[in-house]
C-alpha cells in the first residue's frame, strides 16, 4: 500500500512540500532538521539547516567518561539531495542516493587529554566505520562547500587549550557505500582548506573497500607559511614557542 501511494506521488510532477521541521532528542544527543522540502518535478530534497550535538555540554560530557572520547557537534546550512527517487525509497531496502551538497558545515571537536586512552582501542578508518552502519547504503558523492573544522584539545601537562582551525573547507567524497563492493572499489576524498588562517592545505585520500589489511593512500600538501603561526598549537601541547622561521 505504501509503495502504491509513493508511485502515485511520483506520477504527480507538480508535487511540492516544504517547511517541515524534525527534531529527535535522546538521552545522548539532539538532532534537528529545519525547513525540509521536496520537489517531485526536480527529484530534489532540500533541508535549510541540520544540527547534531550531545545533550551534555563538553564539561559534563567528559565527567561521564572514564577514557578519552571526543565531544563532537555538527551544524550546517542548506543541504540538497538531488535525483531523489521517492518510489525506490519504499520498494528497495537499500538506501541509494546520487548527489548530496552540504553548504557551510561546521564540525566542532573537543578532546580532554586529562582522561587516559582506552587500552587496546584503535580508531576505525572511514571504510570500517561505513561497514558498521546497519542500513545498506550507497551514495555516489557528497560535496561540502565552505565548511569549517574546529578542533580543541585540553592538554593535561600544560593545562592549556590547543586550537586548530581549518576554514574555507571544500571537500568531495565519492563512492560511499557498505555493500556489494568489489576489489577495485575505493572510497575517495579530495579536500582543500585554510590552516590556522595562514596557509592552504590540500588532501587526497583513498581507501580500499576490500583489502584485508585496510590499505589506504594519503597525500597532503601544505603551502608556505610562517612557523610562529603554529604557536597556538605548540605552546599548549609542548610548552614551546617559535619566534621566527618558515
User: Tens of pLDDT along 171-199?
Assistant: 999 999 999 999 899 999 999 999 999 99
User: Tens of pLDDT along 101-120?
Assistant: 999 999 999 999 999 999 99
Name, in order, each residue with C-beta under 8 angstroms of 92's C-beta and a sequence gap of 6 or more.
Answer: none
- DSSP reduced 3-state for 171: strand
Does residue 201 have a pLDDT over 60?
yes
79, with CB counted inside 10 A (0-12, 13-18, 19+), is buried
CA distances from 139 to 3, 27, 51, 220, 238 (A): 22, 29, 20, 25, 41
Q: What percent of the chain has pLDDT over 70?
A: 95
Q: How many CB atoms lie within 10 A of CB 77?
A: 16
Q: What percent of the chain has pLDDT over 90?
A: 72
Contact 15, 40 (CB under 8 A): yes
Instruction: Give the span between the Cα atoms of 74 and 53, in whole angstroms.
Output: 7
Contact 87, 6 (CB under 8 A): yes
Residue 244: pLDDT band (50, 70, 90) is confident
Residue 48: pLDDT band (50, 70, 90) is very high
| Mean pLDDT value across the chain | 91
Q: What is the pLDDT of residue 45?
A: 93
Q: What is the pLDDT of residue 9?
A: 66
Q: How many CB atoms lie within 10 A of CB 177?
A: 21
Which whole number is the average pLDDT over 229-246?
88
Cell numbers of 88, please?
525506490
Q: Report which of 138, 129, 69 is spatially closest to residue 99, judged by C-alpha positions.
A: 138
Amino acid at each position: 500500500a505504501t509503495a502504491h501511494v509513493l508511485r502515485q506521488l511520483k506520477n504527480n510532477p507538480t508535487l511540492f512540500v516544504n517547511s517541515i521541521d524534525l527534531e529527535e532528542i535522546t538521552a545522548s544527543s539532539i538532532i534537528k532538521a529545519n525547513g525540509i522540502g521536496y520537489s517531485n518535478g526536480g527529484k530534489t530534497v532540500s533541508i535549510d539547516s541540520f544540527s547534531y550535538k550531545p545533550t551534555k555540554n563538553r564539561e559534563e560530557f567528559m565527567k561521564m567518561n572514564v577514557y578519552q572520547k571526543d565531544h563532537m557537534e555538527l551544524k550546517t546550512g542548506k543541504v540538497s539531495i538531488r535525483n531523489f527517487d521517492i518510489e525506490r525509497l519504499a520498494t528497495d531496502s537499500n538506501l541509494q542516493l546520487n548527489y548530496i551538497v552540504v553548504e557551510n558545515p561546521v564540525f566542532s571537536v573537543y578532546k580532554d587529554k586529562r582522561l587516559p586512552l582506552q587500552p587496546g582501542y584503535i580508531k576505525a578508518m572511514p571504510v570500517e566505520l561505513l561497514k558498521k552502519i546497519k542500513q545498506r547504503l550507497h551514495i555516489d558523492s557528497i560535496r561540502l562547500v565552505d565548511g569549517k573544522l574546529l578542533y580543541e584539545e585540553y592538554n593535561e601537562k600544560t593545562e592549556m587549550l590547543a586550537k586548530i582551525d581549518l576554514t574555507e573547507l571544500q571537500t568531495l567524497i565519492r563512492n560511499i557505500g557498505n555493500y556489494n563492493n568489489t576489489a577495485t572499489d575505493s572510497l575517495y576524498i579530495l579536500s582543500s582548506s585554510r590552516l590556522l588562517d595562514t596557509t592552504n592545505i590540500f588532501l587526497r585520500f583513498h581507501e580500499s573497500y576490500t583489502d584485508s589489511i585496510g590499505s589506504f593512500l594519503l597525500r597532503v600538501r601544505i603551502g608556505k607559511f610562517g612557523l610562529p603561526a603554529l604557536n597556538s598549537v605548540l605552546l599548549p601541547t609542548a610548552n614551546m614557542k617559535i619566534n621566527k622561521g618558515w
